[in-house]
Amino acid sequence: MKRLLVIGIGAGDPDHLTLQAVKAIAAADVFFIVDKGEVKQDLVQLRLDLIAEHGREPYRIAEARDPERDRTTPAYAAAVDDWRSRRALACETLIREELGDGQTGAFLVWGDPGVYDSTLAIVEEILRRGNVTFDYEVVPGISSVAALTARHRTSLTQVGRPVHLTTGRRLAERGATADDMVVMLDAHCSFAGFDDFHIHWGAYLGTPDEILVSGPVAEVGDRIRELRAEARARKGWIMDTYLLRRTPPADR
Ligand SMILES: C[S@@+](CC[C@H](N)C(=O)[O-])C[C@H]1O[C@@H](n2cnc3c(N)ncnc32)[C@H](O)[C@@H]1O
């Protein structure tokens, strides 16, 4: 039987790696890297550095190119489904051709594999198709949400209160759905207009490029927009996450 490990590696700081993740990396014979192209080379490099530091020789690295996703279509869900299926096919080929029986393969997943990541759905799709069989395990990682709240020295939850984890796209479509919202995958600063909220914003969390801003949206929103645009232009990509917390009426 082939064995697969889906290992959460944390949100950018090599020290985010848990001891469980370190042991899992040491147990792998083959690492699968799905390359997102030159722009995200930094993200691939962190994985290669972690493998070089914690992998146990002899191991191999098997790479495939991430299929392009159609970002122009308004049919977002259909475009993601299509991209996910093509990605599943690329991963299936890697597992079938590069992983021998009795061997352990590993995908190093950014942050936590359970937070806005397609790897688990892709692994299930590959198993459903039935062209290759394997056992798999998931190793949790420090998500960008945990990194964000820790760097801002704030709690994700308030006493007995819910938190809504959502995307920039949904925030823009639906408006405020809770007093506490964590927003990811936001390319458009969708916090604009949330003037009765406080924002804890973080970009490139855990990396040397990390940027942190916090304050009332009405006061710091423009600054975040400027910092974001400038950093994105400089590096060619950006990953940012933020917590929006409704300001108590007494503090408004
Ligand atoms: C595809 S999701 C992956 C999330 C990841 N599985 C996690 O647990 O954080 C990508 C989004 O995660 C957030 N993100 C990931 N790493 C980040 C970082 N180092 N700093 C800020 N945001 C990050 C951003 O919102 C980005 O758009």
Q: What angle do helix axes 119-129 and 76-98 make, rounded to 10 degrees?
A: 60
Question: Which one, of 234, 238, 6, 245, lies nearest residue 111 by Cα?
Answer: 6
For residue 249, say if its preceding peptide bond is cis, omega within 30 degrees of 0.
Answer: no
Residue-level pLDDT at 39: 54
Distance (Å, whole) CA 147 – CA 111: 9
Distance 112 CA to ligand 1 centre (A): 9
Distance (Å, whole) CA 6 – CA 106: 6
| Ligand 1 atom at minimum distance from 12 CA | 19
Distance 11 CA to ligand 1 centre (A): 7
Best mutation site among 7, 18, 110, 191 for ligand 1 pocket (most ligand atoms within 8 Å of CB): 110
Question: By 3-state DSSP, what share of the chain in percent is helix, strand and coil, each rounded to 5?
Answer: 40, 25, 35
Contact between 19 and 140 under an 8 Å Cβ cutoff? The reply is: no
Which residue's CA is the closest to the ligand 1 atom numbered 10? 185
Distance 161 CA to ligand 1 centre (A): 23
Residue-level pLDDT at 76: 78
Residue-level pLDDT at 248: 77
Residue-level pLDDT at 84: 84
Which residue's CA is the closest to the ligand 1 atom numbered 15? 144
Ordered strands of the 211-216 beta sheet? 164-167, 180-184, 240-246, 197-203, 211-216
Query: Which domains, ranges and CATH numbers included, belong to the chain?
Result: 2-142 (3.40.1010.10), 145-251 (3.30.950.10)
Distance 110 CA to ligand 1 centre (A): 7
Residue-level pLDDT at 199: 98
Neighbours of 171 (CB within 10 A): 22
Q: Given its phi and psi angles, is residue 102 left (phi above 0), alpha (psi -120 to 50 degrees) or beta?
A: left
Distant-in-sequence, close-in-space partners of 189: CB < 8 Å, separation ≥ 6? 168, 221, 224, 225, 228
Mapped onto helix, strand or coil, the DSSP state of residue 164 is strand
Distance (Å, whole) CA 140 – CA 7: 7
| Ligand 1 atom at minimum distance from 118 CA | 1
Mapped onto helix, strand or coil, the DSSP state of residue 12 is coil
Residue-level pLDDT at 252: 65
Distance (Å, whole) CA 122 – CA 12: 23
- From first to last of its 252 residues, what are the pLDDT tens digits of the chain? 999 999 999 999 999 999 999 999 999 999 999 876 655 678 888 999 999 999 999 999 998 887 777 777 777 778 888 888 888 999 999 999 999 999 999 999 999 999 999 999 999 999 999 999 999 999 999 999 999 999 999 999 999 999 999 999 999 999 999 999 999 999 999 999 999 999 999 999 999 999 999 999 999 999 999 999 999 999 999 999 999 999 977 676
Distance 8 CA to ligand 1 centre (A): 12
Find the residues whose C-beta lies inside 6 A of ligand 1: 11-12, 110-112, 115-117, 143-144, 184-185, 202-206, 239-241
Question: Which one, of 177, 178, 173, 190, lies nearest residue 241 by Cα?
Answer: 190
Pair of tokens at residue 84: 């996910």
Distance (Å, whole) CA 1 – CA 95: 12
Contact between 243 and 181 under an 8 Å Cβ cutoff? The reply is: yes
